[in-house]
Chain A
Amino acid sequence: MSTNEVSLTAEKKKTIGLKIVTYIVSVLLALMVLLPFISMIREIFGDEVVILPTASGNFTVVTKPRETMMTWKEFTQLFNKPTWTAFGNLVLVTVTSTILNIYFSAITAYAITAYEWKLREAFEKFIIVTMMIPGTVASIGFVQMCYKFHLANNLVMLIIPAIATPMTVFFMRMYLKATFSKEVVESARIDGAGEFRIFNQIMLPLMKPAIATQTIFCFVASWSNSWVPSIILIDDKVKTLNVLNYTSATYVRGAELLMCIPPVLVYLFLSKHIVEGVALGSVKA
């Protein structure tokens, strides 16, 4: 009896110790991650941080004071018409491509799960293979295609490819594998619902956790995607905000704050559904 008690308290002590360590590590990490953000805001209004390469292959970080601190009036003047146009372009591209990505990935995953067609397993393997090969490998061909068919400077080239994203399809498929029940679909069929209607009105709401998770990641990925846009968007009218600065003469520092608002809003709005609800991989049929 007494030995039992001793081991119990030892276990409790260990748990408390681990708890303290966890809190310390989390706080340190959070500080490490959030401090740069604070210094970024300070940088907009105060000093400027510049990384300079040196001859020996290393680098030095130099803090240059601006001539004058930016006043509020100067700050508001930064948000001029080009900035707003670019912001609108970026919102358009990100929102439409995220919606297309999520909807068509969900429908593809549903097609793999719900129907027993012949090439189903082959198609699933194909998705798994292609998800491990990112589109950046084919970027030369993609850019050449844009040049050839005069589709550079066209935002459609950034939106339409989002329909085929194997990574999202795989995630949705994992989720459906664990939660899908045929009875729901069959009872809806008996009630006379068409297949499209079953998907739109029954399956999509059921997939909410997976959709929320993937929406956040797709939104952030599309929002911060600047490599291909910086190559194919040349005209200032179609430039998105994240490529505007690379080439334009007037470097817009204040626009950085515009950049951070939408992803944070999306995260705050959706994070309730993310994570906790995603029951993946535990159930194997």
Chain B
Amino acid sequence: MRNKNHIERHYTKWGYIFIIPFVVVFLIFNFWPLASTFYYAFCYLKHAGNTNPEFLPSIGKPLFKNFTEVFKAKSFYSALQNTFLFFLASTIPEWILAFWLAVMMTDRRMHIKARFIWKLAFFFPKLMSGGILGVSITSTIVGFVANAAGLSAAAMSMNGFGLTEKDMEFVLSVKFIIIVASILLHFGITFIYAVAGITGIPVETFEAAEIDGANRLQTFFKITLPSMRPMLFFITVVSVVDGLGMYDIPSLFGAYDTTRSNLTLMMYMNNQAFQGSYAYDKASAVSLVMLAIYIVAALIVYFLLLRDKDEAKFKKAIRQERRELKRGI
């Protein structure tokens, strides 16, 4: 036994060796920028290309000046509101659609044909959404959605359902178009990961459920979702990161919209830092607010999805036992 332990220990050093590149690059390119962002939030750092931060108390200004400026700005609140609106309103329908389609496509009883083509088609917008093309294809998607919405609005008003243009205003608003476009753009990712998660579940599990007489809804909620929990966690994280950091689509509608109906937190940060005012300090403060939001979201997601309650209980029990053993000795 001791010999085997010795051999194991001989190899464990490779664990440390293999993570060196990751840790080094992480410290330099992720941790250091984050730490300096933290510092800049309490500094004076304005004008383009300025790399000389001055700590606020040292130039006789209150420590939280940048934060108070941010929290005073009305546009910050509309950015906050819009970010959450876009995130929730696009994620929920997208998830329902993606999971429903993923379940239907992988159902053994249905034999959906040409899965390859569907996958390619759904993933297509994301595949194309680089740079110039992203602008072009997103604006054409937006144009398409707007045209469709306009047509249906016109049809409604002509038919005389008692609907006027005013009732349809929301459908034609910037917000609605952004939501629909982001659903269309992001839908493919969720779909592909969901299919990957479902196909990873052994077929026998579904067969057993079928024999026991479970219907499709029961199978989905009681078997499919719990069995793909790590994948579900991954999908949620991708959605949260992409949704709260939404930038590409809203920024198509102009950076300085008067009603701020398209302003998101990312756009607000970008406007502060790299356009016009070059207020790196204020932008750092906004970054920290975003960081706080991400951390709260991460905690919620972690405790809802990834933490295994039984495992945690088990570990706690082991720890207690060990403590009692020690006390006994």
B241-255 with Cβ < 8 A to chain A:
241, 245, 247, 252-254
Contacts of A112 in B (CB 8 A): 15, 19
The 9 closest A-B pairs by CB, nearest first: A242-B131, A141-B33, A115-B15, A57-B259, A224-B130, A111-B18, A132-B298, A117-B15, A164-B26
A208 on the interface (CB 8 Å rule)? no
Contacts of A269 in B (CB 8 A): none
B110 CB, nearest partner CB in chain A, Å? 5
Contacts of A274 in B (CB 8 A): 192, 196
Once bound together, how far apart are the Cα atoms of A231 and B196, in whole Å? 36
B189 on the interface (CB 8 Å rule)? yes
Number of interface residues of A (CB under 8 A): 108
A184 on the interface (CB 8 Å rule)? no
B55 on the interface (CB 8 Å rule)? no
A207 on the interface (CB 8 Å rule)? no
The chain A residue with its CB closest to the CB of B8 is: A116
Q: Hey, what's the 0/1 contact readout for B117-134 against A, CB within 8 Å counting as 1?
A: 111111111111111111
A115-B12, A195-B14 are known; give 15 further A-B pairs, CB within 8 A. A26-B112, A29-B121, A43-B136, A58-B174, A104-B21, A110-B18, A132-B298, A139-B269, A141-B36, A167-B241, A195-B11, A220-B129, A242-B130, A267-B123, A281-B200
Contact, CB under 8 Å: A160 / B136 = no
Contact, CB under 8 Å: A260 / B298 = no
Contact of A145 among B33, B116, B131, B202 (CB under 8 A): B33
With contacts A19-B112, A36-B140 taken as known, whether A57 is within 8 angstroms of B101 at the C-beta atoms is: no
B5-26 with Cβ < 8 A to chain A:
8, 11-19, 21-23, 25-26
A123 on the interface (CB 8 Å rule)? yes
Number of interface residues of B (CB under 8 A): 116
Once bound together, how far apart are the Cα atoms of A26 and B215, in whole Å? 23
B272-329 with Cβ < 8 A to chain A:
273-274, 280, 283-284, 287, 290-291, 294-295, 297-298, 301-302, 306
Contact, CB under 8 Å: B280 / A22 = no
A256 on the interface (CB 8 Å rule)? yes
A130-149 with Cβ < 8 A to chain B:
130-145, 147-148
Contacts of A35 in B (CB 8 A): 144
Once bound together, how far apart are the Cα atoms of A276 and B280, in whole Å? 46
Contact, CB under 8 Å: A144 / B131 = no
Contact, CB under 8 Å: A123 / B19 = yes
Contacts of B74 in A (CB 8 A): none
The chain B residue with its CB closest to the CB of A170 is: B234
Contacts of B25 in A (CB 8 A): 104, 160-161, 163-164
A6 on the interface (CB 8 Å rule)? no
B270 CB, nearest partner CB in chain A, Å? 8
A15 on the interface (CB 8 Å rule)? yes
The chain B residue with its CB closest to the CB of A243 is: B131
A40 on the interface (CB 8 Å rule)? yes
Contacts of B160 in A (CB 8 A): none
Contact of B37 among A110, A132, A141 (CB under 8 A): A141
Binds A, one of B56-64, B85-93, B151-159, B224-232: B224-232
The chain B residue with its CB closest to the CB of A103 is: B21
With contacts A25-B101, A57-B258, A57-B261 taken as known, whether A282 is within 8 angstroms of B227 at the C-beta atoms is: yes
Contact of B266 among A29, A136, A145 (CB under 8 A): A136
B49 on the interface (CB 8 Å rule)? yes
A/B interface sample: 5 pairs, CB < 8 A: A26-B112, A117-B16, A141-B36, A144-B40, A242-B132
Contact, CB under 8 Å: A174 / B234 = yes
The chain A residue with its CB closest to the CB of B125 is: A33
B105 on the interface (CB 8 Å rule)? yes
Q: Hey, what's the 0/1 contact readout for A101-137 against B, CB within 8 Å counting as 1?
A: 0001101101110111110100100001111111111
With contacts A29-B122, A163-B22 taken as known, whether A22 is within 8 angstroms of B112 at the C-beta atoms is: yes
Contact, CB under 8 Å: B184 / A33 = yes
Contact, CB under 8 Å: A132 / B51 = no
Contacts of B252 in A (CB 8 A): 51
Contact, CB under 8 Å: B258 / A161 = no
Contact, CB under 8 Å: A39 / B298 = no
